[in-house]
Structure 1
Amino acid sequence: MDEKNTGMSGWGLIIFLILLFMFMGGGFGNFFGNRGNCCGVTPCEVEKQEIIDSARTQYLIEQTARQTQEMTNAGINALGNKVDYYQIQGLRDKVNEVTNENLQLKNRIYNDNKFNQLERQNEGMFTALDQKISQIACNIPQRPPYWGAGFINCGTPIPPGYAYNTNCNSCTNC
């Protein structure tokens, strides 16, 4: 065998490549899925990231629940305020009605007192006038001063004789 070796043989090339892969990439792991080496993600980091993601999800769920509760409470408060407003308006209307009725009753009492006082004054005035009219009625003649002389068929004079009686029996103050 007289061959001249001008380069590397096949086994030499294979050994060279194996050494090259080991020093450059940390072994065969770079080509077969990066398991357990420094360039890939370790199972601890994956678990750590899962914990972080689940904590973030839990926080967002709690925050959303809190916002939902706050919105519900705000809606309930708004509804309660609206109900309270309508109840207050109803009570104001009742107070206004009672106030108006109270004013009407006060006016009626005032007017009743005023008119009762006038009625008592009028009664007193009418009683005094009645007495004066009675006195005047007793003092004025009840018959005309002169009667026409006349007779009816039976001979009774007109006016009759008792009409000339000047005695006032019907009055007490005569």
Structure 2
Amino acid sequence: MLIGITGTPGTGKTSVTVRLEEKPGYQVIHLNELIREEKLYSEVDSERDCIVADMDLVEQRVMEKVDIFSPVTILDSHLSHHIADIVIVLRVSPDKLRERLQQRNYFENKVQENLEAEALDVILFESVEWCDKVFEIDTTDQTIGETIADIEEILDALLKGRDEQVAAKYKPGSVDWSEDFFA
């Protein structure tokens, strides 16, 4: 099963996937790392301080790396919803997101761009548009362990063919930061 853990940069994707990687039964592919290391990008956008991934190359490389013996392969990236059919979107309040991005020394224009993307549900919207199944977790007041427990609850339900049991709890669109951000 190929699962994307996606969300705006700073929502906790890598923090949780690094811990999931230590558990048996999970293969984790960190897409941003893969893209940089294997130069799977078409250009460097210096104005936006980012690289532009060549998603066809990324998807091809991911499929080559998937371990068919692993019950779950997790793609960690704000781009993973472009490849996986099932995604878990991590969300965080704009205030907490600002703190995290500033701690990473993001330029202010990059912080603002990501805050707007989070407030406007950009990645959630893309995920719902592109993917068969989408789940949403608000990580704002959660520890990494609590977020992992939520993810494992979803994965367990999916593996047992009982995703309807978690569909309402993690329903896409249940998190809304627009009033907080645009007020």
TM normalised by structure 1 equals 0.15
Which structure carries more strand by proportion?
A: 2
Give the number of the structure with larger relative contact order, counting CA–CA contacts within 8 Å between residues 6 or more apart.
2
From the CA coordinates, give the structure whose radius of gyration is larger. 1
Which structure carries more helix by proportion?
A: 1
